[in-house]
Structure 1
């Protein structure tokens, strides 16, 4: 890539700014440690693509909040692509504020379990707090089904986003991105995903706010492409990375001799495996060479 320009983290607003106009989405990938995070960065850099690294509250507590920020800032400074550090599916208002103060460039306030008015109130509070820290905010309207860390939404309680609720929600909260529920689920799909593309298109028509697809593991390639064409700007992939991480370690434990004690021999391939997943998703999402 030649000389690398030192750059800091970018906000979600900045990284998604041209997505709708130019017809691509930015991949947002969950990480749980150094190897998968570096793999995500490596894959995106190879494709010259912007990228969003997501940490759940559980991942941040495992790594450490400030350690997470320091690690990703260091990685971002070593590549010449836009990198956003995003706190994913956070429900604890105080913890979200701590993440903002620690240096996250984007956070998600997930008050989707609350009623509409409380969701607006909580989302707006985080937006107002984040302004002083140059941090973007994503919120969710409707309830995406499945399991995400400690958040479990049963099929019965999953509710699609109502288009009529969107304009007021976006205007009053001032959010930078909106996660919508239109048929995707967190975790592995039990059957073929059935996405409501008409609902997605209707929502995209009535708001310029970048739209987010949660539950990207297991969605067919053609559906991904249709989502992007229909107005999705950010696509979350998490479960696939957990599986890639653990499958790779299992393979290395089986392949390497028992006397091999260098941890890098076991963990290094995780970076490569995660990079390959990212590169494949970038090709589908259309963000290659958009850095």
Structure 2
């Protein structure tokens, strides 16, 4: 059964689904990304999600998580904190004990039910990815060489039965950059998965939105996507500005 109770990430995304829009989950790797997410959300008077990777724990033992939580708590618009692509049950449990996360995406498929029950007991919602979305992302280990496997409605139903709250279906989107043909999405598949998700009372998440235009976003939102992960659209601009301004790493 999906999480029952107050959870600000769940509230933000459920409200988006009811309103026919999607909330950006901004992939943040540093304090600047966290601040930019909150300031942009406040400027637009619109909700957002600060999204961290497991490296936020492994690199600084949770310091960035605490900063993200404080930024979300102090924001004048609804902001939540979520961890993307958690691949180790031990790390997931450590993240939950550290506090600060409203949601965690877990990838250990064999332990989905067990980890979901554990996270729900901590007031944390769960995102899962049935199938396999092709490509790789910064901060995520060993995904580049895995073959993309599209999600079926039957797989979606199986995951929903394990009690998850958000489903990230594989329907042709790709982590990272697309080839020159651009996104090749199976929107009919997404629509069928959405029908299954609606019956289970959960929301859909879009991974791999690099290069999407407004029309393509709209087509996905129309078919139930209520959370969109954003990585390169923010971080590529950040690194480009660093390069343009002549920033140099002087720590070595």
**Bin of the TM-score, shorter chain as denominator length:** 0.7 to 0.9
Partner of residue 152, structure 2? 162
Cα displacement (A) at 1:10 = 4.6
Of the three residues 35, 40, 44, the one matched with 1:43 is: 40
Partner of residue 194, structure 2? 204
Superposition pairs for residues 207-226 of structure 1, below 5 Å? 207-208=197-198, 209-226=202-219
> Considering only CA atoms, is the larger Rg found in Structure 1 or Structure 2?
1
Of the three residues 201, 219, 224, the one matched with 1:231 is: 224
Residues 60 and 238 (structure 1), Cα distance of their counterparts in 2 relative to 1, 3 Å cut: farther
Of the three residues 238, 247, 252, the one matched with 2:245 is: 252
Q: Classify the secondary structure of the residue corresponding to 2:127.
A: strand
What is the alpha-carbon root mean square deviation over aligned residues? 2.0
TM-score, normalised on structure 2?
0.88
Matched, 1:135 2:124: yes
TM-score, normalised on structure 1?
0.77
Residues 83 and 10 (structure 1), Cα distance of their counterparts in 2 relative to 1, 3 Å cut: farther
Partner of residue 275, structure 1? none
Indicate if the aligned counterparts of 1:86 and 1:105 stay in contact, CA closer than 8 A. Answer: yes
Q: Which runs of 4+ in 1 moved over 4 A?
A: none
Q: 1:147-166: CA deviations, max 9, x gaps?
A: 12323244x71011011222
Q: Classify the secondary structure of the residue corresponding to 1:142.
A: coil
Of the three residues 185, 190, 203, the one matched with 2:179 is: 190
Where relative contact order (Cα < 8 A, 6+ residues apart) is larger, the structure is: 1
Of the three residues 174, 178, 181, the one matched with 2:163 is: 174
Structure in which a larger fraction of residues adopt helix: 1
Corresponding residue pairs, total: 237
Of the three residues 80, 84, 92, the one matched with 1:84 is: 80
Q: Classify the secondary structure of the residue corresponding to 1:236.
A: strand
Q: Classify the secondary structure of the residue corresponding to 2:104.
A: strand
Indicate if the aligned counterparts of 1:30 and 1:53 stay in contact, CA closer than 8 A. Answer: yes
Q: Classify the secondary structure of the residue corresponding to 1:151.
A: coil
Q: Distance in 2 between matches of 1:190 and 1:86?
A: 29
Q: Distance in 2 between matches of 1:10 and 1:42?
A: 22
Indicate if the aligned counterparts of 2:205 and 2:225 stay in contact, CA closer than 8 A. Answer: yes
Indicate if the aligned counterparts of 1:33 and 1:63 stay in contact, CA closer than 8 A. Answer: no
